[in-house]
Structure 1
Amino acid sequence: MLQIGLIREGKIPADNRVALTPAQCKWLHKNFDTIRVVAQHSDTRCFSDKEYVMAGVEVKEDITRCDVLMGIKEVPAEQLIANKTYLFFSHTKKAQEHNQQLFQAILKNKITLIDYECLTHEDGQRILGFGFFAGIVGAHNGMMAYGKRTGLYNLNRVYQQKDYRNLIHTYFGLKLPTLKIAVTGSGRVAHGVLEIMNLMGIHEVEPFEYLHRQFDYPVYVDLKGRDLYARKDDGTYNRDDFHSHPDQYKCLFSPFAKQTDILMNGVYWDKSIPPLFTVEEFQSEEFSIKTIADITNDYHGSVVVNIGDSSIEEPIYGVDKKTLQKTTAYQNNVVDLMAVGNLPNELPRDASRYFGEQLIKFVLEDLVKGGSAIIERATMVKQGKLTPAYEYLREYANGNG
């Protein structure tokens, strides 16, 4: 019998998403004699303790007897239980400095860490993630911000809607002005953005048309890897080569920055990938972007003027084009920026349901069996020791790096 504990989110501000919904727990209990789910008491989950109890899930404070503990965001180091197996988004695989102490505590407490972000199919495709709903909410917020800036239309907040279905209903009758939107990326985030573009009735156009034509209706362009990057030496693009040698590529976004009103950024980024635009381009008169929804949300990342997180309560801040300082949004000579790190929290029940479905479909049976290639690829730490695939984090683990 595998006892799974759904832990209370300890990171502040508390995340309200869950790895498994009450209905999914009920289904697991009915279909697997080998799985039992226990939920730790929580006042902040999008599903209440009562909903779990009604689904036949035991809710209690003490979860130390569970074999596997599942959360969503990073577990505060002081809340870790030694010698347990944890599944959560640790945000440590890129040696993120702000989570170094957490990673060291995982090793010290002889914990096994299976990181959701590292659960992949054999071809490297990620299995789990909230990217689609991040894209949904991020695109909505970007459109909302542009409406506030121009006063040409009005969109309410996503979290004021009960669920995704209700959100869709708010787009009926929405009349948008003439505008150009650049969508970057090809993963789950971009798919979520495109969903909103289509629901709002915004027309897709090809990159060449986007750059060389004016339209009297709202349009968007979907820019994928080959539209955004090319080798410095011969101008070609190969996806695998790009991910292996991003430093040998240049970014091709510059012409689009001169033709775009709203940038919806969903592109993957790490330190050696060139940003979409430089500070100098941002400050130039030709830079036409007024609103940036940085859904990927890397500090000084693909969007170099991302100068820190915004919050669900206050999702938009301004970046002064001259000083590059954070300021009030919707002013002249200011670009409005959304940089919320927990966007799916605005649609937590839908996002959790989707996440749990993938977890059940691709991961849980392997956990019950005691492992698989999928589990092995995602196990960053096993009983307090770095696994071979993550040996590159040795310095980070030792307190350097």
Structure 2
Amino acid sequence: MKQFKIGLIREGKIPQDSRVALTPAQCKWLQAHRPHLSFVAQPSPTRCYKDEEYERAGITLSEDISSCDILLGIKEVLVNALIEGKTYLFFSHTKKKQPHNQQLLQAVLEKKITLIDYECLEHEDGKRIIGFGFFAGIVGAHNGLMAYGTRTGLFRLDRVYKQKNFKELIHTYFGLRLPNVKIAVTGSGRVAHGLLEIMNLMGVHEVEPDEYLERRFNYPVYTQLKGYDLYKHAVTGNYSRQDFHEHPQEYVSKFKPYTRQTDILLNGVYWYEGVPRLFETEDISREDFIIETIADVSDDENGSVPINKRTQTIEDPVYGVDRTTKEITNPYLKTSVDIMAVGNLPNELPRDASRYFGEQLIKFVLDDLTGNSNAVLERATIARNGMLGSHYDYLRDYAAGMQQRSSG
């Protein structure tokens, strides 16, 4: 069997990410159980797993990774760090023609690189195979509740990143008593699963959408809103998941009644151009729009949450949007809606998130990556040897330098 040397590259994007694609223990296990694989880790002072941990696991540390066949990262690789002719796996954030990564895709093509995007690894029905969404939901739900507690003064939550791991975070919820809030959780994927995990850990009771809309409760409740709860066809009033994903522009949002009954919105909807927004920017001026805090875990600027105007940092995750002027303000003002929007939420629990991610990578991707390619990998290959992949011809103008702005 062909030998493969796999390199774990140092993250270069600022703010620097501390997550890894494979943990030291996972690399050690792979070298023992997949003799055709060997690993090299580029030294990094900011990784959540230290260089010494990789060394103790028997993994070579080397600044020079040019001998590696496959290079694994997390965030976008800096253009000047790309090595010609290599195969890379990372989140490139180019599939939606994001303007800030146009130069990255151009460089990938110029350097005849093969780029497989984690975000594009999907089953035939479009379900994502690999990702950090669950831990994004965990941290996003915590931060959303934390922001509401800070805003109202009714309870206090500490920051996630101050905890050593997820297990320690759970211990911080012991004794927590939430007020009689109503929380809307949107989405049905990994992010939503993370959001629901925190709802259950915090003792928030689930109620059905119709019951949620009809009354207030004397205890904290949440309702989960999936596709058929959120959207309907503009003409027929029906909802078909497949038709919605193929023709989202033909659908309209059904979320408006929930804006009159919701204190906190935890948004886990995967948004792309054409998908209806949950509400419109002008709606926040209405007297019956009572949402005070929105955790936009998906973090699409002007996306499903139209008043998400910018991405914040882990250190400073919350800002306000004035209900009248729609301008950005400081958080926690009575005249504003608070927005929690951070692009790298799982980085608050980097070791747990990395271990979870690596397990999926080993289970669903690695054997095919180093064996015979399959349809899943083909659909995720944005570029192969400097040519756009067969599923990404729509990026041709974007890759050629014609700026086509799209939200997200």
1:123 deviation in Å? 2.8
* Aligned pairs for 1:337-348 within 5 A: 337-348=339-350
Q: State the distance in 2 between where 1:123 and 1:30 align.
A: 34
1:372 deviation in Å? 2.0
What's 1:20 paired with? 22
Q: State the distance in 2 between where 1:124 and 1:256 align.
A: 28
What's 1:29 paired with? 31
Name the aligned partner's letter for residue 341 of structure 1: G
* Aligned pairs for 1:142-181 within 5 A: 142-181=144-183
**Percent identity of equivalent pairs:** 64
Name the aligned partner's letter for residue 289 of structure 1: I
What's 2:125 paired with? 123
Q: 1:293 aligns with which of 292, 295, 298?
A: 295
1:283 deviation in Å? 1.3
Name the aligned partner's letter for residue 340 of structure 2: M
1:370 deviation in Å? 4.4
Q: State the distance in 2 between where 1:293 and 1:362 align.
A: 30
Name the aligned partner's letter for residue 226 of structure 1: Y
Name the aligned partner's letter for residue 98 of structure 2: Q
Q: What secondary structure does 2:75 align onto?
A: coil
- Give per-residue Cα distances to partners, 1:57-106, cap 9 Å, x unaligned: 00111100000000000001111011000000000011111100000000
Name the aligned partner's letter for residue 238 of structure 2: T
Q: State the distance in 1 between where 2:122 and 2:272 align.
A: 18
TM-score, normalised on structure 2?
0.97
Q: What secondary structure does 1:335 align onto?
A: strand
- Give per-residue Cα distances to partners, 1:309-365, cap 9 Å, x unaligned: 111000111111111111111111111110100000000000000000000011111
Distance 1:273 1:122, change over 3 A: closer
1:121 deviation in Å? 2.2
Q: 1:336 aligns with which of 335, 338, 343?
A: 338
Q: 2:235 aligns with which of 233, 236, 252?
A: 233
Q: State the distance in 1 between where 2:302 and 2:122 align.
A: 27
Q: 2:204 aligns with which of 202, 211, 229?
A: 202
Q: What secondary structure does 1:363 align onto?
A: helix
Q: 1:390 aligns with which of 389, 392, 395?
A: 392
Q: State the distance in 1 between where 2:257 and 2:127 align.
A: 31
Q: 1:273 aligns with which of 272, 275, 285?
A: 275
Name the aligned partner's letter for residue 329 of structure 2: T
What's 1:8 paired with? 10
What's 2:140 paired with? 138
Cα RMSD (Å) of the superposition? 0.8
1:105 aligns with 2:125: no
TM-score, normalised on structure 1?
0.99
Q: State the distance in 2 between where 1:373 and 1:226 align.
A: 29
Name the aligned partner's letter for residue 331 of structure 1: L
Q: What secondary structure does 1:264 align onto?
A: strand
Q: State the distance in 2 between where 1:292 and 1:157 align.
A: 17
1:122 deviation in Å? 2.9
Q: State the distance in 1 between where 2:33 and 2:331 align.
A: 51
Q: What secondary structure does 2:392 align onto?
A: helix
What's 2:304 paired with? 302
